Amino acid sequence: MSPKRAAAPAGPARTTTTTTPRITFNLRASKRVRGPDASSQPTARSPSPPLPFAELLRVPPPPPPLPPPMCTSGSIHAALAHLRAADSRLIPLIDAHGQRCAERLGGSGPDASSPSLPTFPRLVQTILAQQLSSKAAATIHRRLLAEAGLVAPQQPPQQQDEEDDGGGGSGGAGGCATTAAALRLTPGHVLALPEARVRSAGVSGAKAAALRDLALRFSDGRLSDAMLRRASVAAPEGLHAALLADKQQRRRPEAAAAAGGRRRAPCPAAEAAAALLAVRGVGPWSLDMASMFILGAPDVLPAGDLGVRKGLARLRGRGGGGGGGGPGGQGGAKKVVLPDAAAAERLTAPWRPYRSVGSWLMWRLAEEGS
| Residues 296-351: tens digit of each pLDDT | 899 999 999 999 999 999 998 875 443 333 333 344 446 778 999 999 999 999 99
0.85 exceeded by pTM: no
Q: Quick one: pLDDT at residue 66?
A: 52
Residue 313 burial (10 A CB sphere; 0-12, 13-18, 19+) = buried
Segment 104-129, tens digit of pLDDT: 877 655 555 666 789 999 999 999 99
Q: How far is the C-alpha of 189 from the C-alpha of 101, rounded, in Å?
A: 32
Residue 118, amino acid: P
pLDDT at 160 over 70: no
Query: What value does the mean pLDDT take over residues 168-176?
Result: 45
Minimum mean pLDDT range among 43-47, 155-159, 203-207, 324-328? 324-328
Q: What is the mean pLDDT of residues 61-72?
A: 56
- For residue 71, how many C-alpha atoms fall within 13 Å in the half-sphere facing its CB? 17
Please tell me the class of the 115-295 domain. Answer: mainly alpha
| 24 or 127, greater pLDDT | 127
pLDDT, position 116? 76
Query: Residue 188 pLDDT > 70, yes or no?
Result: yes
pLDDT-derived band of residue 167, with 50, 70 and 90 as boundaries? very low
**CB burial string 320-337: b at 16+ within 10 A, e below:** eeebbbbbeeebeeeebb
Max mean pLDDT range (93-107, 170-184, 308-322): 93-107
The residue ranking higher by pLDDT, 113 or 288, is: 288
Question: Cβ distance 151 to 167 under 8 Å?
Answer: no
- Determine contact, residues 148/130, Cβ cutoff 8 Å: no
